[in-house]
Structure 1
Amino acid sequence: MLSQILAVAIFVVMFIEIVREKIPRHVVTLVAGGLTLVVVFLLTMHSWPDVWQALSFQSMAETTFWYTGAHGSTGMNTGINWSTILFITGMMILVEGMSGAGFFDWLCLRLAKLVGYKPVPLLVCFMILSAGLSMFIDSITVILFLAVASVRLAHLLKFDPIPLIIAEIFTANLGGAATMSGDPPNIIIGTALGLSFGDFLRNTGVIVLVGMVVMVPYFYFCFRKQVQSWDPQARQKVMELDPRDSIHNRGQFAIHVILFLVVVVLLITHAQTGLTVATVGIIAAILTLLVNRWPLHLLRRVDWKTVLFFIGLFLAVSGLEQTGVLEAMADGIAHLTGGNHTLMIGIILWLSGVASAFVDNIPFAATMVPVITSLSATMGADLNTLAWTLSMGTDIGGSATPIGASANVAGTSIAAREGHPISWGRYCKYSAPASVLVLAISMGMLLLRY
């Protein structure tokens, strides 16, 4: 009991400090992670095995960490999710390589020309693009790509990029909920329950489509005035630029674009090839460094603070996992629902949504999978329906706060690195109501359809 209280206390203090933004957030999570290892696991539980499990180094020694075989399953481990860490790091290196080759400057000017160099149409364009790409590419990758492009374009046209990034993060998570490969929780749910890409598309995909019809106008009306304050002189100056001038070396540009397309194909087909996302991330990093003229300079540009933030966050959450706090939360659902399937869907959806806003949705999804399996077996509820409920709850609830999903952390980190920090207040002002709205839509459609 003491270990649970301490784990919760460490997490709550960590969360408060992240919200206060007085201390760099990677320092906050690393300190919280260190306290979890020392105070919770060693001093209170006297358990070196729990420390080792939280660090999770052994997971990388398993063959299935790198290759599962076609239709294989990587399983679910507690502690640091090194698969996510390696994937994000690899994609950051890839994005930095593309940036150095002039790809994002070229893309910005092309998109600006397509919409007449007007930020408001660009906002709508980027929302749709973010959701569409996230259906096939992991939402983290999409945000790494689009957030950089948004900042580059905002600097050229002299408008605030934060509205674009907030809208892109939300629609990336929303689009990712449509398929099995879009968001990490869906990968966990799908592999554990034997669901396919098509299964998700026919079920959560329909809900996402309705959600997008509502969210595009929502963010348009929220942000149309904020992004209209562009400089006419800057617009005129940009209109005179030739996108091709952004490409300093056509050979390097072509190589990095081809490399990006190869990585996209690997991501889309990783369920069929058996290559895990960790392997894809490593391949992306190695190939990018090999084709880059100055690999050490590229590595110095990578946002290592975000990587450290994730490591500390996973360690802090492992305290909640391994002391049984998350399991107790999940078990409470079984006692509250009784035999009422409607109530069961409602509790799973909203509890998953609220919890995923504050606890990274990856470990929460992993914790909830055996719970919904048990509920299906003991109470006769349709397992697939519970899977769609859990998917929408974790994916959309994770959009509500800057730390609820990996894409949120990646997007806000890029914004901060480029000189546009996004405060908790500004982020939640728009994304929290949007999350509630989409969860309400999900609730209605789940009850009507199933």
Structure 2
Amino acid sequence: MHETLLHASAALPPTTEHQTLLDLLGIHLSGGSLTALAVALFILTYAMILLEKYVHRTVAALLGACLVMVLGILTPDQAWGSIDFNTIFLLFGMMNIVNVLSRSGFFEVVARRAMVLTKGNPARVLWIFSVLTAVFSAFLDNVTTVLFMAPVVVTVALRLGLKPIPYLIAVILASNTGGTATLVGDPPNIIIGSVAGKGFGEFLVNVGPYAVLASAIGIALMHLLMHWRGEMSSTGSAEKLRAVLADETPIRTDPRLMKQALGVFAVTLFLFIVGHPFGLEAGLVALTTSTFLMLIADMTPVELFEQVEWTTLLFFMGLFIVVGGLEHVGVFETVAASLTNLIGNDMGLGILVVGFASALISGLVDNIPFTISMASVLRELQGTLGEVMNPLWWALSLGACLGGNLTLIGASANIVVADIAAREGHPMGFGQFMRYGTPVALVTVIVALGLFYLVFQATH
């Protein structure tokens, strides 16, 4: 048998190395030149993401990924291996569960009841929809939350004679602060959880309290800013307001589907909390429970998959490949060594450096590619320092998620809502967003990270 295998292997053609475009052109790069090329492609991809007015962010990420493979920084197999499928499965699964909830009429019921609770009062509209957004964003991903919440807010604001843009900005800010609380709430947390191996409960304990405080402060500050700028008054008549609040047009719901979706959602959250110690990663849980929901729900996969945000998933996959190129050429090892030299064993200093740098950079560029990159750096650092550097993961989470409120391009939820606003005929300007987002981001980042630093110093 052994001899037969030897003869069979001898008969196989010799393996050939993967040929790249540069090889075919007769160009052979040194290690340093390959590193410079990987960094250049990363910067180019970032630049294209920032210029989304001209190039869609998903196209930018996929183009960067293609160049990484074409130029030979990664082979296609290596590129495929650099994709974090735990993150992809988590997003895909949660999107499907939310889509079933949406199809059942659940969100329309919530919106109708929320509007009645506001009694037409602008301050109540702000607080109720902001709190709802923050809560939903903590247990769903915030991009999915704003997809169904933003159109509802536009409708409610227009019916009540309110300017929709400030209320839409409030939804963005609440989604980013509320989403900071849990593993599944904000894409940066999903990335951190997967790269660092952190579970749902760990995020809830280590980041959750600061996110709740930031959410409350953010909504209160938004209230003050809107009141100061005179945007808390309705232009509608009292009669029209009464008619809107008295509207009892039946909402089309599917009670059976709603019960199934809510039941599966509850099981999913339970497994998020208890599954990590047993090796059940969040991505596997979400993929499994959403597949079970497809099995029992009266919906075909074709119907359900049409509603999946494929552009978001492909955006992530492209970025993972671009960042994988940097990891392959050793960029993150170099950055991690520099960070180690800067902070040494002073984790208090590390919290301030990582946290505030993450907030600033996440505000200037999208917090997703930044977090993918920084998480790779911290993973290298963890190999040197061990578990003692755990606080740096939570500082990255607070900085990247809350810093996403600094500018209109700081987080994916911001772009999604801006697109919805433009589609509804109410375009949101970059400066218009910063009038609210920047002060809210600055205050919440300083309070949350400052308090996190003080608690760390008091307990160590």
TM-score bracket for this pair, using the shorter chain length: 0.7 to 0.9
Contact 2:180 2:189 in 1 (8 A): yes
Are residues 1:178 and 2:181 paired? yes
The answer for the alignment partner of 2:251 in structure 1 is 246
Are residues 1:370 and 2:376 paired? no
Tell me which amino acid in the other structure corresponds to 1:43.
L
Separation in 1, partners of 2:43, 2:195: 30
The answer for the alignment partner of 2:257 in structure 1 is 255
Q: How does 1:14-413 map to 2 (within 5 A)?
A: 14-23=45-54, 25-26=56-57, 29-38=58-67, 40-43=68-71, 45=73, 47-48=74-75, 51-56=76-81, 78-79=82-83, 81-154=84-157, 156-157=159-160, 159-186=162-189, 189=192, 199-224=202-227, 225-226=230-231, 228-232=233-237, 235-242=241-248, 245-247=250-252, 250=253, 252-273=254-275, 274=280, 276-281=282-287, 283-284=289-290, 287=293, 291-292=297-298, 296=302, 299-300=305-306, 302-338=308-344, 340-357=346-363, 358=365, 359-360=367-368, 361-364=370-373, 366-374=375-383, 376=385, 382-402=388-408, 404-405=410-411, 407-408=413-414, 411-412=417-418
Sequence identity percentage:
31
Per-residue CA deviation, residues 242-274 of structure 1 (Å, 9 max, x unaligned), is: 16x122xx5x24423541342243134224242
SS of the residue aligned with 2:71? helix
Separation in 2, partners of 1:202, 1:303: 30
Separation in 2, partners of 1:422, 1:241: 29
- C-alpha deviation, 1:145, in angstroms: 4.5
Instruction: Say if 1:191 and 1:325 are closer, same or farther in 2 by CA, change over 3 A.
Output: closer
Tell me which amino acid in the other structure corresponds to 2:389.
L
Separation in 1, partners of 2:159, 2:174: 24
Contact 2:421 2:427 in 1 (8 A): yes
Instruction: Say if 1:133 and 1:327 are closer, same or farther in 2 by CA, change over 3 A.
Output: farther
Separation in 2, partners of 1:285, 1:118: 42
Instruction: Say if 1:419 and 1:216 are closer, same or farther in 2 by CA, change over 3 A.
Output: same
Separation in 1, partners of 2:393, 2:240: 49
- C-alpha deviation, 1:86, in angstroms: 4.1
- C-alpha deviation, 1:126, in angstroms: 2.2
- TM-score, length basis structure 2: 0.74
Separation in 1, partners of 2:148, 2:125: 15
- C-alpha deviation, 1:130, in angstroms: 2.8
Tell me which amino acid in the other structure corresponds to 1:175.
G
SS of the residue aligned with 1:269? helix
Tell me which amino acid in the other structure corresponds to 1:246.
I
Instruction: Say if 1:21 and 1:154 are closer, same or farther in 2 by CA, change over 3 A.
Output: farther
Contact 2:405 2:437 in 1 (8 A): yes
SS of the residue aligned with 2:445? helix
The answer for the alignment partner of 1:439 in structure 2 is 445
- C-alpha deviation, 1:285, in angstroms: 6.3
Larger radius of gyration: 2
Contact 1:373 1:383 in 2 (8 A): yes
- C-alpha deviation, 1:283, in angstroms: 4.0
Are residues 1:448 and 2:440 paired? no
Contact 1:267 1:277 in 2 (8 A): no
Aligned length: 415
Separation in 1, partners of 2:136, 2:268: 14
Tell me which amino acid in the other structure corresponds to 2:357.
L
- C-alpha deviation, 1:114, in angstroms: 0.6
Q: Which runs of 5+ in 2 are unaligned?
A: 1-31
Tell me which amino acid in the other structure corresponds to 1:214.
I
Separation in 2, partners of 1:403, 1:4: 28
Contact 2:137 2:145 in 1 (8 A): yes
SS of the residue aligned with 1:23? coil
Separation in 2, partners of 1:226, 1:109: 23
Contact 2:45 2:61 in 1 (8 A): yes
SS of the residue aligned with 1:231? coil
Contact 1:108 1:149 in 2 (8 A): yes
Per-residue CA deviation, residues 183-230 of structure 1 (Å, 9 max, x unaligned), is: 454456567767665554444334334323421221113345446455
The answer for the alignment partner of 2:18 in structure 1 is none
SS of the residue aligned with 2:119? coil
Tell me which amino acid in the other structure corresponds to 2:129.
F
Per-residue CA deviation, residues 402-439 of structure 1 (Å, 9 max, x unaligned), is: 55545445555555565555454444443344333222
The answer for the alignment partner of 1:69 in structure 2 is none
Contact 2:49 2:61 in 1 (8 A): no
Contact 1:356 1:398 in 2 (8 A): yes
Separation in 1, partners of 2:169, 2:291: 27
Q: Cα RMSD over matched residues?
A: 3.8
Contact 1:352 1:397 in 2 (8 A): yes
